[in-house]
Structure 1
Amino acid sequence: MARIWALVLVAVLVVGTLVGRLGQLQVSDGPQMRAAAERINTRSVPIPAVRGRILDASGKPLVANGSTEVLTIDPATLAAAADGGRALIARVAKVVGGDPVQMFGRTKPCGTKGAPKPPLCNTADAVRPVPILLDVSPVKALPLLERPEDFPGLAVESVPVRRYPGPDGANAAQLLGYLGPVNQADLEADPALTADDRVGRAGLELQYEAQLRGTDGRSVLAVDARGLPTREVERTAPVAGADVRTNLDAAVQQRAESALAQGVSRLRATKKVAATGGAAVVLDASSGAVVAAASNPSYDPSVWSGGISTADYAALTAQTAHQPLLNRAVGDLQPPASTFKGVTLPAAIASGVDPKGSYECSSAYRVGGRVFTNFESSAYGPISMTKALEVSCDTVFYRWAYGQWQQAGGLKAPADSADPFAAMARQFGIGERTGVDLPGEQAGLLPDRQWKVANWQATRADLCRRAKTGYPEVKDSKQADYLKQVAAENCAAGYLYQPGDAVNFAIGQGSTQVTPLRMAVVYAAIANGGTLWTPQVAAAVEPASGRARPIAPKIAGPVTMPAAAQQIERDGLRNVVAQPQGTAYAAFRGFPGSYPISGKTGTAEVFGKQATAWFVSYGPKLPSGKQYVVAVMIEQGGTGAEGAAPVARQIWDLLRGRK
C-alpha cells in the first residue's frame, strides 16, 4: 500500500511540474514563442525586378526582355546518387536531346575538380535547383515530369532572358555586352544579390549594371507543416530597372558593321592580306557622342540568353575565331601610322617649323646609320606642308622630327627635356584612356624620353639575357638574328632616345599605340578647332517612373594648336580625299563635293604581321550643329587607301543623308 501511495505522489509532482511549466510558457514566454512559431512557419520568396532596356538614340530597343524555359535538377537528387547523377542525366539527355557531358558539367560547382570553366559550371548555392539544359521545349520535357519515379528531382522553370530586336539590322554585340551568373565575389560585394541573379559581364550591361538591374521585391508566405504555402503574409513590390538610352543610331551602327564586314571579306578574298579583324567608329565632333562603334569579327549576342552552351562558348573562344568577344574599338592597340600626322604637323609648327616653307620630299632620308624611306619610295621634290599631308610624305616629317631632336640636345638631352611633338600628343590624349563609358578600354602608349628610360629599366635584365641566348624559339633565322642584335643594342643603351625614335614617332610608328576610338577623338578635336571630348555612349538614364536623367557631354580638355596649323590641316586633309594625288582620292571618287570629307590614310608596320590599314576622317558641320567623324582600322588589312578608306566611304554614303 505504501508503494502505491508513493507512486501517486510522484505522479502528482510530475503533473504539477508540467502544468506549472505550461503556465509559464503561456503567460511569460507566450509572445516570444508565438513570434518564433511565425518565423518558423513563413518563407520569403524574392520577386525579381524587371531589368531595364538599352535603347538607341531614337528609343528603338537594342536590348529588351523576354523569357525562356530551363530544365533544372534538385541538388539533393544529385547528392543521393552514387555517381553524382551522371546516369540519371544521361537518361534525361536521351529524352530531351541534350549533350549529357555538357549537362552533367553544369552540375559541378565552379572551381571544383572536374568542373568546366565559368560560365559552363554551377554558380548556384548547394540548395538551389541546378540548370542543366537551356531553352528546353516544355513538350519534350513533359515525359520527364510525368514520370518522377524514373526522373526524380527535375523541373522546368521559366526564367527571364535578354532579347535583341536588332533594329535596322544593328547587332552591336560588343557594345551591348551580356549577362552572366553571379559568383561568390559578387555575392560578397553586394548583399542585395542572390545566387539566382545574373549580372552584366561586358559592355553597357556591365557599365550600367546598377542602373539597369533595379531592386527585387519580396513575398513572405505562411507555410504549413509540409512546407506548402497557405497565404501571403507580406509583400514588397519590386522596382524595375531604368532604361539606358544611348547616343547610338541603329541605322548607322548597322552600316558600320556591314561595311566593315564586307571590307574584311573583300581583303581576305584577295589572299594578299589576312585581315583578321577591325573596327569602325562614328563620333559627333560637337559633343563626343558615340553614334556607332562596330567591331569585327562579331557574334550573335543572343547566345548568352539564359546561359551560353558549351559549343557556342568554344566557338567564341577558339583561336581561329580571332577574338569576337573583344571590342576592338576600345580594346585593340595598333600603331596609328600616318593618321598621326594630324598630331605631329601642328607639333612641328609649334616647335618653330615655318608653316609657309617648302620642304624636300625625297624617297629616303638618312638618320645616323639608318635609312628611312617614304612609303613605296615615292618622291615629290620640294613641297608645302599642305602637300605633305595630301601625299603623306614621310621624309618631310622625318626632317622636322630630326631637327627638333637635335635642337633638344640629341642623345645628351635629359629625359625631362621639352619635346613639342610629345607635348602635342599629350594634349590630344595619346597614351591615356579616352574615358568612354565602356569597360575594357586600353590606354595606348606615348613613347617619349621618360617612357624610354622607364621601359629600359623594366626590361633590361631580359634584354641582356636575350643578347646572350638569342631567340631559339623563332624559326626564321634572319628574324632571330635581328631580334638578338636589337636586344644587344637595347641592353647597352636602351635608355637613350635615339634619332630613329624621334622620326618614327613623327609618323605614328615605333612603339606608339592607340585605339580606333582614340584616333576618332583626335580627329574630332581637329575638326572642331581644338575641343577634346570624352566620348559618351549613353545619353540618359530613364527610370520606369520619374524623370529621365540626361548624361551631359564632358570636355576632356582643350588642344592648343597654332592658327596656321589649323588652316593647313583643313586644306591638307581635304586634299587627301579631293585631289588626284591624295591617298584617299580613289576611294572617294564620285562622292558629292557638296558634302566635303577630310581625312588621313595610314599604313602601320607591325613586326611579324602584315600592315594595319587606317583611315580617319570628318565631314562638314551640319545645320543641326552635328559634325561626324569616321575612323576605320583593319588589322593586317594592307594599305589605308585600299583597306580602310573604302569602308569609310560606305559609312559616309549613309551619313551624308543625315542633317
Structure 2
Amino acid sequence: MTDVGRHRGRLAAAFVVVVLAFAGLATRLGQVQLAGADGVSAQASSLDTRTVVEPALRGRILDRTGRVLAENRASTVVTLERRVIAEDRPSAEAEVRAVARVLGLPAARLLGRTWLCGEEGAPAAPTCWSGSPQVPVPLATGVDPQRALALVERPDRFPGVAVDSVPVRVYPRPEGVSAAHVLGYLGQATAQEVADDPDIGAGDLVGRSGLEQEYDDVLRGTPGRTVVAVDARGLVTGVVSRTEPVPGRDLVTSLDVDAQAAAERALADAIATDRARGGGGRADSGAVVALDATSGAVVALASAPTYDPNVWTGGISAADYADLTDEDAGTPLLSRATAVALPPGSTVKPSSVVAAVRAGNPLSGLYDCPAQYRIGDRVFRNHESYDRGLMSLERAVETSCDTVFYDVAYRAWQDQGGVSAGVDAADPFARAARGFGLGTRTGVDLPGESAGRVPDRAWRRQTWEASKEELCRRAREGYPEVADAARRRYLRAVARENCASGWQLRGGDAANLAIGQGDTLATPLQLAVMYAALGNGGTRPTPRVAAATVDTSTGERTAVPAGPRVSAPLDRRLGRYLRRALRGVVTDGTAARVFADEPADWPVAGKTGTAEQVGERDTSWFAAYAPADHPQWVVTAVVHRGGYGDASAAPAVQRVLLALRGLG
C-alpha cells in the first residue's frame, strides 16, 4: 500500500463514528418508496427516512516537490446534542461545566459553543457555534482521549455527550514555513451554506481563505450519503441505501518550501533590522512575492505579520481570533502580498518611460533633472537637494530622478487639456500603467485580491461624486475634533478645494502618477507581474499558485489551466532600453550598494521605490528579476515604513534571488 493509501486508510475509519453520530439528528427527507425492494427497503415504504451526509476526506496541499503543506490527522472531539440545550439550558450548562472539569479545559470556552451565532445572548464569533443547528455541537476538539473516555463511561451523568474520532486539518510547516496567507484555513459550514449546496453537509468544514477557499470544491471531494429508516421515535431501524464518499484530490502547488522559507526569513529580518536601527526605524509589515518570469507560477509568497496556520485546527479561540484581526498588531490575517495596495513609488518609472515616449518625448533625448519642479503654487522636490543637470531617460531611471518625470507628465497633462479635459481624455501615463497590469486584479488563484488604483480622470470624478457631500460639509464645519489648530486649518482648506473642484485631475496629480505617489496604489503581486513583462520581453502572465490536482486513488494528475497571457505596451526597442536601465539601477544606480558583491553568473536587474506618505515614514520597495540577460525569476518586496528602497526591500529581494539561484 502506498503512503497516501495508508494515510487515507487510517483516517477513513474516523468517519464511521461521525455517520452514526449524525444519523439521529440529520435532516428529515420524508417517505421514500423503493419499488421492487425487499428487506429494509420494503420496510422503508411505511417509515420515515433520513439522509446522513458523510464528508469526504479532504485532499492535501503540496509544494512543487511533494512536501506536505496541509493534511489531515485524527483528533478526538467531544460533542453535545442540541436537544439537550433546547430542552433545559441551565441543566445543559451545568453538564458542560462538568464536562470541562473532566477534560481539564476552561468552562467559559465550552459554554460559548452551546450558543448558535446570531442567537440572542450568544457570544461573538468564533466562540459561538456557527455551524448547523441540526448536528451535535463540538464542545472541544483535540482533547486527551483518556480524559474523554471518562465521559463515555458515564452516559447517565453526561446525557447527549458523545466522543468521536474525526479528521482535522493540520499544517506541518516544513522548514518552519508558515505560508498562512497562501494556504488559508477552514471554517464550519453555516446553515445557509448547507441549505445552498447539496454537497455540503451539516458540520462540514469549508475553505475560508487562500487555497483552501479557492480550491474548496476540489479538495473537499464528494460526500457520501446514507439513507436510513427510522421509526416514530426517530431511532434508526436499518440502512436503505449508501453511497460511498469520494476523497478530495490532492493539490500540487508551484510553491517551493525552500524559496518560501527564504522569503519569510528575509522579510522578517528586514523588518527586525529596520526596527533595530537608530534614528527611529519603525518598519511594521511587508510582503515578498516570487514568480516564474515566464509562466507566472508563484514559488513564494510571504506576508508579515504572519501567524501559525495551525491556530485554526480544532476551532480558533476568541483570543486568538482577536489577535489575528488586531489592527494595532498589523492585522496578521491580512495578506499584504495580494490584498493590501500601497503607493509603489519609483518602481512604476519604467511604465512612465513608456508613457513619456508615447507622449512624444524622444527616447534618445536629454532631460533636465533639477532639485525641484514647480506646478502652480506647489513645489515638487527631488529626493536629492541639488541640480543633476541633463540626463537620458535611462539615467533618470537608474538614479530615480523624480523631476524628469514630473516634467514629462505635467507637459502631457497640459497637452490633454489640463483641468478642462473630459474624463475620457487620452492619458498616456494612466494607459501605460494599466497596460502593465496596474489598477486591475492580476487574476491570481487566491481570493480577496486588491485591484490597486490608477487615479485617472474617470476615477477622480467617480470618487468625488461619492464623497462630495462629506467634503462640502467639512468645508463648512471644519474638523473641530482635531486638536492641532494648524492641522485643522489645513484639512479645512483641502476640504474647501475638493468640495469646489475635487473632480478635476490637477497637474500635481498627473506628476504624482508618474512617480507612483499620491493616489496611485499597487500590490507586490501586481508589481511582480509588471516586472515579469519587463524581463520576458513584454508579456504579462497570470500568476498561478496551483499547478495540478492528483487523484489519490489512481495517481492521475491533471494540470490546473494557466491563465491568459496579455501583451504589455512594450516594443522590442523600448524593452531593450528599459532592461538596460534596470540593470543600471543595480550596477550604477540606487541599488548599487546592496548588490555590490553579486555573483558574476547571477546578474540582477531591478528598481528601487521609496513611497512617501503624509505623517509616516517612507515605505521601501524593490522589484527585480534575475538573471538579467535571461530572466528566470521575478521577486518584489515591500516594507511598510522601511525607509528608502535600498534600505529594507532591496536586501530582502537579494536574499530571495540568491535562494532561487539553484532552483531549476
8 Å CA contact 2:291, 2:298 repeated in 1: yes
Counterpart of 1:202 in structure 2 is: 209
1:548 aligns with 2:553: no
1:653 aligns with 2:653: no
1:638 to 643, 646, 653: 643
- Find the aligned partners of 1:32 and 1:389 in 2 and give their Cα distance: 82
8 Å CA contact 2:132, 2:190 repeated in 1: no
1:501 aligns with 2:509: yes
1:568 aligns with 2:577: yes
Encode CA deviations 1:298-357: one digit per residue, 9 max, x unaligned.
111111112112232222223332111111111001011100102101111121112112
Q: Give the CA deviation at 1:109.
A: 0.8
1:276 aligns with 2:284: yes
- Find the aligned partners of 2:613 and 2:130 in 1 and give their Cα distance: 42
Encode CA deviations 1:57-90: one digit per residue, 9 max, x unaligned.
1222211111211111222332343515222222
Q: Give the CA deviation at 1:545.
A: 4.4
Unaligned 5+ segments in structure 2 are: 1-36
Encode CA deviations 1:584-634: one digit per residue, 9 max, x unaligned.
122222111321101111111123332211001111279xx8710000011
Q: Give the CA deviation at 1:641.
A: 1.1
1:375 aligns with 2:380: no
- Find the aligned partners of 2:510 and 2:627 in 1 and give their Cα distance: 33
The 1:594–1:626 alpha-carbon spacing in structure 2 relative to 1, beyond 3 Å, is: closer
1:459 to 459, 467, 486: 467
- Find the aligned partners of 1:249 and 1:197 in 2 and give their Cα distance: 30
8 Å CA contact 1:110, 1:116 repeated in 2: yes
8 Å CA contact 1:159, 1:306 repeated in 2: no
Q: Give the CA deviation at 1:433.
A: 0.7
1:388 to 369, 384, 396: 396
Counterpart of 2:632 in structure 1 is: 627
Counterpart of 1:10 in structure 2 is: none
- Find the aligned partners of 1:44 and 1:408 in 2 and give their Cα distance: 67
8 Å CA contact 2:256, 2:299 repeated in 1: yes
- Find the aligned partners of 1:139 and 1:378 in 2 and give their Cα distance: 75
1:88 to 95, 98, 105: 95
Amino acid at match of 2:298: V
Counterpart of 1:491 in structure 2 is: 499
1:559 aligns with 2:571: no
1:450 aligns with 2:458: yes
Q: Give the CA deviation at 1:149.
A: 3.3
Counterpart of 2:28 in structure 1 is: none
Q: Give the CA deviation at 1:402.
A: 1.3
- Find the aligned partners of 1:346 and 1:125 in 2 and give their Cα distance: 56
- Find the aligned partners of 1:495 and 1:221 in 2 and give their Cα distance: 66
Amino acid at match of 2:287: A
Encode CA deviations 1:232-258: one digit per residue, 9 max, x unaligned.
554322111111111111110111011
SS at match of 1:439: coil
Counterpart of 1:256 in structure 2 is: 263
Structure 1 stretch displaced more, 416-425 or 291-300 = 416-425
- Find the aligned partners of 1:63 and 1:229 in 2 and give their Cα distance: 36
Q: Give the CA deviation at 1:154.
A: 2.0
8 Å CA contact 2:604, 2:628 repeated in 1: no
Q: Give the CA deviation at 1:142.
A: 2.8
Encode CA deviations 1:555-606: one digit per residue, 9 max, x unaligned.
3421122444323311211111112xx1112222211132110111111112
Counterpart of 1:23 in structure 2 is: none
8 Å CA contact 2:80, 2:162 repeated in 1: yes
8 Å CA contact 1:612, 1:637 repeated in 2: yes
1:294 to 302, 325, 345: 302
Counterpart of 1:145 in structure 2 is: 152
Amino acid at match of 1:456: W
- Find the aligned partners of 2:336 and 2:167 in 1 and give their Cα distance: 30
- Find the aligned partners of 1:204 and 1:192 in 2 and give their Cα distance: 19
Amino acid at match of 2:542: T
8 Å CA contact 1:598, 1:617 repeated in 2: yes
- Find the aligned partners of 2:407 and 2:638 in 1 and give their Cα distance: 27
- Please show how residues 511-550 of structure 1 align to structure 2 within 5 Å: 511-545=519-553, 547-550=556-559
Q: Give the CA deviation at 1:368.
A: 1.2
Q: Give the CA deviation at 1:32.
A: 13
- Find the aligned partners of 2:286 and 2:414 in 1 and give their Cα distance: 38
Encode CA deviations 1:371-405: one digit per residue, 9 max, x unaligned.
10011435322122221111100011111111211
- Find the aligned partners of 1:551 and 1:279 in 2 and give their Cα distance: 26
8 Å CA contact 2:538, 2:571 repeated in 1: no
1:265 to 272, 277, 298: 272
Q: What is the aligned-residue RMSD (CA, Å)?
A: 2.4
Q: Give the CA deviation at 1:126.
A: 3.9
Counterpart of 1:179 in structure 2 is: 186
- Find the aligned partners of 1:349 and 1:403 in 2 and give their Cα distance: 12
Unaligned 5+ segments in structure 1 are: 1-29
1:235 aligns with 2:242: yes
Structure 1 stretch displaced more, 238-247 or 213-222 = 213-222
The 1:649–1:160 alpha-carbon spacing in structure 2 relative to 1, beyond 3 Å, is: same
8 Å CA contact 2:229, 2:238 repeated in 1: yes
1:356 to 357, 364, 371: 364
1:193 aligns with 2:206: no
- Find the aligned partners of 2:152 and 2:568 in 1 and give their Cα distance: 68
Amino acid at match of 1:278: G
SS at match of 2:564: strand
8 Å CA contact 1:340, 1:507 repeated in 2: yes
- Find the aligned partners of 2:89 and 2:465 in 1 and give their Cα distance: 58
SS at match of 1:534: coil
SS at match of 1:280: strand
1:99 aligns with 2:106: yes
Q: Give the CA deviation at 1:49.
A: 1.1
- Find the aligned partners of 2:83 and 2:414 in 1 and give their Cα distance: 77
Amino acid at match of 2:659: L
8 Å CA contact 1:350, 1:562 repeated in 2: no
Counterpart of 1:4 in structure 2 is: none
Structure 1 stretch displaced more, 354-363 or 270-279 = 270-279
Q: Give the CA deviation at 1:39.
A: 5.8
SS at match of 2:603: coil
Q: Highest CA radius of gyration, 1 or 2?
A: 1
- Find the aligned partners of 2:234 and 2:169 in 1 and give their Cα distance: 33
The 1:378–1:332 alpha-carbon spacing in structure 2 relative to 1, beyond 3 Å, is: farther
Amino acid at match of 1:269: A
SS at match of 2:396: helix
Counterpart of 1:339 in structure 2 is: 347
- Find the aligned partners of 1:413 and 1:605 in 2 and give their Cα distance: 28
Q: Give the CA deviation at 1:159.
A: 1.5
8 Å CA contact 2:624, 2:635 repeated in 1: yes
Q: Give the CA deviation at 1:490.
A: 1.2
TM-score by length of 1: 0.90
SS at match of 1:651: helix
Q: Tell me the number of residue pairs that the alignment of Structure 1 and Structure 2 aligns.
A: 626
Structure 1 stretch displaced more, 602-611 or 106-115 = 602-611
SS at match of 2:464: helix
Amino acid at match of 2:562: P
Amino acid at match of 1:287: S
Amino acid at match of 1:319: E
The 1:471–1:520 alpha-carbon spacing in structure 2 relative to 1, beyond 3 Å, is: same
SS at match of 2:488: helix
Counterpart of 1:169 in structure 2 is: 176
Encode CA deviations 1:419-468: one digit per residue, 9 max, x unaligned.
11111112112211111111000111111122222222222221111112
Counterpart of 1:588 in structure 2 is: 595
Q: Give the CA deviation at 1:642.
A: 0.4
- Find the aligned partners of 1:410 and 1:211 in 2 and give their Cα distance: 52
SS at match of 1:589: coil
Amino acid at match of 1:167: P
SS at match of 2:138: strand
8 Å CA contact 2:44, 2:229 repeated in 1: no
- Find the aligned partners of 2:415 and 2:150 in 1 and give their Cα distance: 84
- Find the aligned partners of 2:418 and 2:41 in 1 and give their Cα distance: 88
Counterpart of 1:431 in structure 2 is: 439
8 Å CA contact 1:70, 1:156 repeated in 2: yes
Amino acid at match of 1:567: R
Counterpart of 2:164 in structure 1 is: 157
